[in-house]
Chain A
Amino acid sequence: MASDEDSDEDFVTYGTPLEPLEEDEPVRKPVPVHEQTVKDEKGRYKRFHGAFTGGFSAGYFNTVGSQEGWTPSTFVSSRQQKAEKPNIRPEDFMDEEDFSEHGIAPREIVPTDDFASGKKDQLKDKARAVSSLAALIPGDTGLLEELIAPARSSIGVELLRKMGWKDGQGVGPRLKRKQRKQNDDAVKVYGCAFPPNGSEESEEDEDEFAPENVSFAPKDVVPVDFTPKVDSHGLGYRGLNPLQALGGGSETGHINLFTLQSDRTTSLFGDRNSGQQRRGGIGGQAFGVGAMEEEDTDIYHKDSMSNYDNVLGGEEPGDGLYGWTAPQQYTRKKNDPKRDVAYLGRILDGFTLASQVTEIKTVYPPPDLPRDYRPVHYFRPVVDSSTVSPIVAQALQASRGRLSQDAPQQGRHSLDSSQRCDMLGETPLQGPSSVFELLGSKDRERLNEIRRAATEQNKSVENLSSAVDRAAVVASAKAAALQALSSRFQSIAPQLDSHTQSQTSPTKSQASSETQMALKAWSGPTADASKTFKPFAENPLKQARYDLYITKLKQGNKDALESSLDSSMTEWERGRERDEFVRAALLYKPSNSSLSSRFTRSKHEDDTDSVDVTRDQENDMDDKQAAVKMKMFGKLTRETFEWHPDKLLCKRFNVPDPYPGSSTVGMPKVKRDKYSVFNFLTITDSSQVSRGAPSASKPPSSSSTLPHLTPEVSNKKSRWDIPGQEPKDPLSAFLSETRSEVLAAKNQTDSPHATATPEVKVAQSDGKQTEQKTEEEEKEEDEEEVRPPMDLFKAIFASSSDEKSSSSSEDDSEEEKEVAPPASDPIQSSAETLNPPVSAQSTPAPDISRLTELKHLTVQSMPSAETTAQNTQSSHSAPAKSQGLDEEEFGPRLPPPGFIPSACSPQLKKQKKKDKEKHKAKKHKKEKKKKKNKKHKHKGKQKKRVEESNSSSDDTDSNSEDENSVVSTSELLQRLKNIRSKREHI
């Protein structure tokens, strides 16, 4: 039927299809009713019975009972054992089916009433009370129902109770008293109240004396009674209120038989018109006149029909709400915003409804866009000409007509701190101006040797024949230096390259821009291999190759990269290493001087990511070392830290815990993040590079070292090394070389300054000792040993440079006055002799200014015999300075000598005395100095001669020093011993 070929897909079939009929098959006979069988769920046959028997088996095969018929199975017939009375329950007579889910006594888990709450459901009661009033039997409050119905409360009610809700209260936020007051115009009723209203009344009675700050639960909301209309009254007719009718309510005269739904409830609970006139006691027609009653009142109450309404809805309810809305309490005051809010819902705590309507913002239309505006911005890449190959740079320049090269001059932010410092005229930062100074003397010496070798190599390359050529070269070099300085903030790659190309071996033209940058960075004055970061420390061979590369870079070697790579490696490996090296060289390029001055040598090796650092670090050792040398133990060498002993240790030592509350042990630690450089290992961008460039092209003046920082104990060479004269920069090195060469051609006389230098140092280091001697000794010592240290210092630094020309001497003496630093700052002054003053740095020609300065320094130290006036001038200034040095050798670092107890330092008294007689001493000293200077004149001249015989400037120091150092050091030692022995004899 359903399995037609066509309709298979079209129709949905339900049920099991019947077997297809075969035509040959005889039609089955329907099974007769008496042969049909029905089985129950256990497979047993069920019998059908007639309608009377209910359709199910009753008993044993239609019998009631068992096989034995009605014989009770429990019957025992014996004398000994009487038949017990069986405890028969109704279940015994019930069938299995009765216990199933839909049976008479289902054996399912059902909550019993025992567990339901025993309390009355107030809500229901109220509802019942409402309905009861409308019930036929007046006063019936559903007592019957209450008797029958088990008290049961829903889970919601239970939950509410758990949350603190109490029967009779409303649900919602608690209210202040006043708010509630408005709602109900409840009237006090004394005496006994009537059952339906009782609960309400008692509640409201207490409201009167509620204090201000007490909040109350909201009034319960009466569920709207949607009782169906079952009576045959008219619509809205509620019948006679039995209370009114019976309880003397009739005295009001008017009985309202019709109420609208909205005020029906209020009339029940809130309005108590009926009760208003009631008096105590029970009165009424039916009871006659009581003893307390006035006799005049009409006992026989006449009810008039005028008391009753005949019409539905006589007056407007006045609320404007036809039909049902919210309960009365909400509808009453419409203009009260708070009501509205309350009706709207709860407002969040801390918020109130705005009293005023917020102003509507005037919205202005967006500006009209220009017609050809396209909302896309194209960022033009700023390309540094040095970073990109020239072809690309040119192309870029052509494309946009501007290179980034001229940009840095405008940007304030592109200057680094030292440049800004220069512009502002601030004094440069104290401390080591370059990493180079933090080097050990050995390392420095090694570097110097490397550099020297390089410069010599350079010299051999250049073949300048005549002095004229040299002069020309000098001129050009100066011009180039000027140019370099003026374009200091820019990348000076082109100029530098041109110079280096002219000097060094021909460079590869195809050197990549990165290698050039690395070259620039590393050939700077601050470069130093030994102190640089070792990025390939894990692989010593690689690190060695890298070091080689760096050193070559610093020598200005153009093909440093290629030559330092291992030729035995494969091309691919080499290529990779080349990249790595260049990148590492760029990344770890030497920081410029102002940056490095902010750092000091690390005291600990860090190897974790974050390290515990003791909060109080011991401060720098230099001060302490100086103090130790001066034997000024005490405050200078003493440092005190907070230290927490372990509690147990205190206990064992029988000492109370000094820090009872703290849990720290040892020095207080501070967690510090440690950054590995590898965190930032990325390819340097162009901005970084351009920033690095000026540091490399810094004038050599900024990288000079302070003399007092040179370590005392070292071998000779490094000891007399003059760091300020070291060629830091290929450019400056070249300049100084050429300059000295030219001047060497001019001057034939020698000046052996170097012999004097050791004495200077001795005088410096032992300055304090010499001071401590008795005056007589001091005088002698002064005569013999204590040279004017400052002068000779300057002589050292002037030694390698040019000699003063007699023509410029007068000018120099004038200049000297200006430039001479104040004597109160000896260290500074010695530093400044190396560092040209800040203002000089910003001048366009620093090298020249430096040159002149060096000149007048020599003048200062070696006053010429010809100009006596100048002599006196210089000698005036020189002793003053030297005095300053004597007094304040370590001046700014040490506290005034007065703080040391007089008992342990008798020499200090002397010092004070000296201070008192300062003027005298000064005069004395001046005279002495004069003598000295005269004395030294001859010496000085000799020294000059010796020195100038050495033509090359760089070798001058070492050579002359080699010549003289043997004598001088031995002499020096001898003197030192003398001093010491003298002291011991005291």
Chain B
Amino acid sequence: MAFPQPRPQVPQLPQHLLRTIECQQGAVRAVRFNADGNYVLTCGSDKSLKLWSASRGTLLKTYTGHGYEVLDVDSSFDNSQLCSCSSDKTVILWDVASGQVTRKLRGHAGKVNCVQFNEEATVMLSGSIDGTVRCWDTRSRRYEPIQILDEAQDGISSLKVSEHELLIGSVDGRVRRYDLRMGQLHVDFIGSPITCVCFSRDGQCTLSSSLDSTVRLLDKSSGEMLGEYSGHVNKGYKLDCCLSDKDTHVLSCSEDGHVYFWDLVEVSLTLKLPVGKAVVQSLSFHPTEPRLLTSMEGHVQVWGAEPETAAVEDS
């Protein structure tokens, strides 16, 4: 039905370590690919935000301006702007090239957990521990949010934006989907505090991981559960989960130092990728290729489907 049929050839999983980037910015809170997957953004606990080349692993730029550790970052579709959020309750819009702060938006009452651009980078959405999602206008000079979504009864842990939908996971154990086109709010009760939500690439399903060490794939329209993926450990940290580039696998960080790969349809554990000993806190999947970023402690690892020739060439 809505699922992409498994392709004849076995999908390749990013299981080979290509390189390890020592970020030198304290613990890496979040690691993200940019929109096209050529660059890597890392959020450090030393208040800095760093831009890396994904292919070479070289530091391109450091963005400083936050007052406390940076928690999440997102890049605009045209790579011209970045938005980041921090524990200092601010959301900052950066100019990528100059590294200057374009706008610093205050308004959240607590630390801001997650931030996202919309498709055209006209709106920034930030979810905070204060339970609100604020929609900031990047086009106007207003410092007030366009709208505040305060339906959540607990902190916002994760949010994603699609073309016309906002997917918001909250610690109150609910995944809320705001449909702007229909003017509706769909609340899915999960029960356990949500750590991460994401859309499937086909936009028909939502993936949500919660603190009961379960990742659930829900049908977007009906809210029915299509798959439940468990086996990893997620008890206390805000760990990321995501879908692979072709929607074939479900990935989740784990507190036991692995990244778990489940087959989306068969709900079976395909791969248990050992990353390290500590908690794999954040991960990001390349938008088009089988490439994976994981962050653990102070470094970021780049994983590919096969041992990269470029890396060999480099060395």
Bound Cα distance from A724 to B15, whole angstroms: 57
CB distance from B113 to the nearest CB of A (A): 20
Q: Is B36 engaged at the interface, CB distance under 8 Å to the other chain?
A: no
Cβ–Cβ < 8 Å partners of B150 in chain A: 666
Residue of B nearest to A659 (CB): B183
Bound Cα distance from A902 to B67, whole angstroms: 53
**By the criterion CB–CB under 8 Å, are B187 and A653 in contact?**
no
- Number of chain A interface residues as a range: 35 or more
Residue of A nearest to B135 (CB): A649
Q: Is A154 engaged at the interface, CB distance under 8 Å to the other chain?
A: no
Known: A614-B151, A633-B188, A655-B164. A649 touches B146 (CB 8 A): yes
Q: Is B222 engaged at the interface, CB distance under 8 Å to the other chain?
A: yes
**By the criterion CB–CB under 8 Å, are A644 and B223 in contact?**
no
Cβ–Cβ < 8 Å partners of B190 in chain A: 628, 637
Q: Is A66 engaged at the interface, CB distance under 8 Å to the other chain?
A: no
Residue of A nearest to B192 (CB): A628
Contact of A625 among B123, B148, B149, B191 (CB under 8 A): B191
**By the criterion CB–CB under 8 Å, are A653 and B147 in contact?**
no
Chain B proximity mask over A641-667: 1 for CB below 8 Å, otherwise 0:
111111011101111101100000111
Q: Is A639 engaged at the interface, CB distance under 8 Å to the other chain?
A: yes
**By the criterion CB–CB under 8 Å, are A628 and B187 in contact?**
no
Known: A645-B178, A649-B146, A666-B147. A638 touches B137 (CB 8 A): no
**By the criterion CB–CB under 8 Å, are A649 and B147 in contact?**
yes
Contact of B146 among A639, A648, A900 (CB under 8 A): A648
**By the criterion CB–CB under 8 Å, are B123 and A652 in contact?**
yes
Q: Is B224 engaged at the interface, CB distance under 8 Å to the other chain?
A: yes
Bound Cα distance from A535 to B96, whole angstroms: 56
CB distance from B152 to the nearest CB of A (A): 11
**By the criterion CB–CB under 8 Å, are B224 and A628 in contact?**
no
Bound Cα distance from A656 to B179, whole angstroms: 12
**By the criterion CB–CB under 8 Å, are B218 and A633 in contact?**
yes
Q: Is B181 engaged at the interface, CB distance under 8 Å to the other chain?
A: yes
Q: Is A618 engaged at the interface, CB distance under 8 Å to the other chain?
A: yes
Cβ–Cβ < 8 Å partners of A633 in chain B: 188, 216, 218, 223-225
Cβ–Cβ < 8 Å partners of A603 in chain B: 153
Q: Is A509 engaged at the interface, CB distance under 8 Å to the other chain?
A: no
Chain A proximity mask over B200-232: 1 for CB below 8 Å, otherwise 0:
000000000000000010110011111010000
**By the criterion CB–CB under 8 Å, are A652 and B191 in contact?**
no
Residue of B nearest to A656 (CB): B181
Cβ–Cβ < 8 Å partners of A624 in chain B: 189, 191
Known: A637-B189, A659-B183, A667-B151. A653 touches B218 (CB 8 A): no
**By the criterion CB–CB under 8 Å, are B223 and A637 in contact?**
yes
Bound Cα distance from A625 to B151, whole angstroms: 19
Q: Is B120 engaged at the interface, CB distance under 8 Å to the other chain?
A: yes
**By the criterion CB–CB under 8 Å, are B189 and A655 in contact?**
no
Bound Cα distance from A649 to B226, whole angstroms: 31
CB distance from B136 to the nearest CB of A (A): 10
Cβ–Cβ < 8 Å partners of B183 in chain A: 642-645, 658-659
Cβ–Cβ < 8 Å partners of B149 in chain A: 666
CB distance from A908 to the nearest CB of B (A): 13
Bound Cα distance from A75 to B222, whole angstroms: 117
Q: Is A291 engaged at the interface, CB distance under 8 Å to the other chain?
A: no
Q: Is A424 engaged at the interface, CB distance under 8 Å to the other chain?
A: no
Q: Is A621 engaged at the interface, CB distance under 8 Å to the other chain?
A: yes
CB distance from A601 to the nearest CB of B (A): 13
**By the criterion CB–CB under 8 Å, are B222 and A638 in contact?**
yes
CB distance from A73 to the nearest CB of B (A): 82
**By the criterion CB–CB under 8 Å, are A653 and B189 in contact?**
no
Bound Cα distance from A665 to B151, whole angstroms: 12
Bound Cα distance from A652 to B138, whole angstroms: 9
Cβ–Cβ < 8 Å partners of A72 in chain B: none
Q: Is B182 engaged at the interface, CB distance under 8 Å to the other chain?
A: yes
Q: Is A631 engaged at the interface, CB distance under 8 Å to the other chain?
A: yes
Q: Is B311 engaged at the interface, CB distance under 8 Å to the other chain?
A: no
Residue of B nearest to A658 (CB): B183
Q: Is A901 engaged at the interface, CB distance under 8 Å to the other chain?
A: yes
Q: Is A399 engaged at the interface, CB distance under 8 Å to the other chain?
A: no
Residue of B nearest to A625 (CB): B191
Q: Is A640 engaged at the interface, CB distance under 8 Å to the other chain?
A: yes
Interface centre among B183, B186, B228 (most CB of A within 10 A): B183
Bound Cα distance from A33 to B131, whole angstroms: 111
Known: A628-B191, A641-B184, A649-B123. A634 touches B226 (CB 8 A): no
Cβ–Cβ < 8 Å partners of A817 in chain B: none
**By the criterion CB–CB under 8 Å, are A634 and B191 in contact?**
no
Q: Is A635 engaged at the interface, CB distance under 8 Å to the other chain?
A: yes
CB distance from A231 to the nearest CB of B (A): 95
Cβ–Cβ < 8 Å partners of B123 in chain A: 649, 652-653
Cβ–Cβ < 8 Å partners of B222 in chain A: 634-635, 638
Bound Cα distance from A635 to B118, whole angstroms: 29
Q: Is B180 engaged at the interface, CB distance under 8 Å to the other chain?
A: yes
**By the criterion CB–CB under 8 Å, are A649 and B180 in contact?**
yes
Contact of A667 among B153, B164, B185 (CB under 8 A): B185
Cβ–Cβ < 8 Å partners of B38 in chain A: none
**By the criterion CB–CB under 8 Å, are B147 and A646 in contact?**
yes
Known: A653-B123, A904-B226. A641 touches B185 (CB 8 A): yes
Cβ–Cβ < 8 Å partners of A645 in chain B: 147, 178, 180, 183
Contact of B186 among A621, A639, A646 (CB under 8 A): A639
Q: Is B20 engaged at the interface, CB distance under 8 Å to the other chain?
A: no
Interface centre among A604, A637, A639, A641 (most CB of B within 10 A): A637
**By the criterion CB–CB under 8 Å, are A638 and B147 in contact?**
no
Q: Is B139 engaged at the interface, CB distance under 8 Å to the other chain?
A: yes
Q: Is B122 engaged at the interface, CB distance under 8 Å to the other chain?
A: yes
Bound Cα distance from A634 to B189, whole angstroms: 9
**By the criterion CB–CB under 8 Å, are A652 and B118 in contact?**
yes
Cβ–Cβ < 8 Å partners of B147 in chain A: 645-646, 648-649, 665-666
Cβ–Cβ < 8 Å partners of A667 in chain B: 151, 185
Bound Cα distance from A666 to B133, whole angstroms: 12
CB distance from B240 to the nearest CB of A (A): 22
Residue of B nearest to A667 (CB): B151
Contact of A650 among B151, B180, B224 (CB under 8 A): B180
Bound Cα distance from A868 to B174, whole angstroms: 54
Known: A628-B190, A631-B228, A649-B146. A643 touches B184 (CB 8 A): yes
Bound Cα distance from A460 to B183, whole angstroms: 67
**By the criterion CB–CB under 8 Å, are A658 and B182 in contact?**
yes
Bound Cα distance from A659 to B184, whole angstroms: 10
Bound Cα distance from A614 to B150, whole angstroms: 11
Bound Cα distance from A654 to B186, whole angstroms: 21
Bound Cα distance from A901 to B184, whole angstroms: 25
CB distance from A698 to the nearest CB of B (A): 35
Contact of B137 among A640, A641, A652, A666 (CB under 8 A): A652
Cβ–Cβ < 8 Å partners of B151 in chain A: 614, 643, 666-667
Chain B proximity mask over A585-629: 1 for CB below 8 Å, otherwise 0:
000000000000000000110000000001000100100110111
Cβ–Cβ < 8 Å partners of A646 in chain B: 135, 146-147
Cβ–Cβ < 8 Å partners of A656 in chain B: 181
Chain A proximity mask over B107-133: 1 for CB below 8 Å, otherwise 0:
000000000001110110000000000
**By the criterion CB–CB under 8 Å, are B122 and A652 in contact?**
yes
Cβ–Cβ < 8 Å partners of A648 in chain B: 137, 146-147
Bound Cα distance from A604 to B131, whole angstroms: 13
Interface centre among B137, B164, B185 (most CB of A within 10 A): B185
Bound Cα distance from A208 to B18, whole angstroms: 111
Cβ–Cβ < 8 Å partners of A629 in chain B: 191
CB distance from A984 to the nearest CB of B (A): 8
Cβ–Cβ < 8 Å partners of A642 in chain B: 183-185
A-B pairs with beta carbons under 8 Å apart, 29 shown: A603-B153, A621-B189, A625-B189, A628-B191, A631-B228, A633-B188, A633-B218, A633-B224, A634-B224, A637-B190, A637-B223, A638-B186, A638-B188, A638-B189, A639-B186, A639-B189, A642-B184, A645-B180, A648-B137, A648-B146, A649-B147, A649-B180, A652-B146, A653-B164, A655-B164, A655-B180, A667-B151, A667-B185, A901-B224
Please list the residues of chain B having a beta carbon within 8 angstroms of any beta carbon in chain A.
118-120, 122-123, 135, 137, 139, 146-151, 153, 163-164, 178-191, 216, 218-219, 222-226, 228
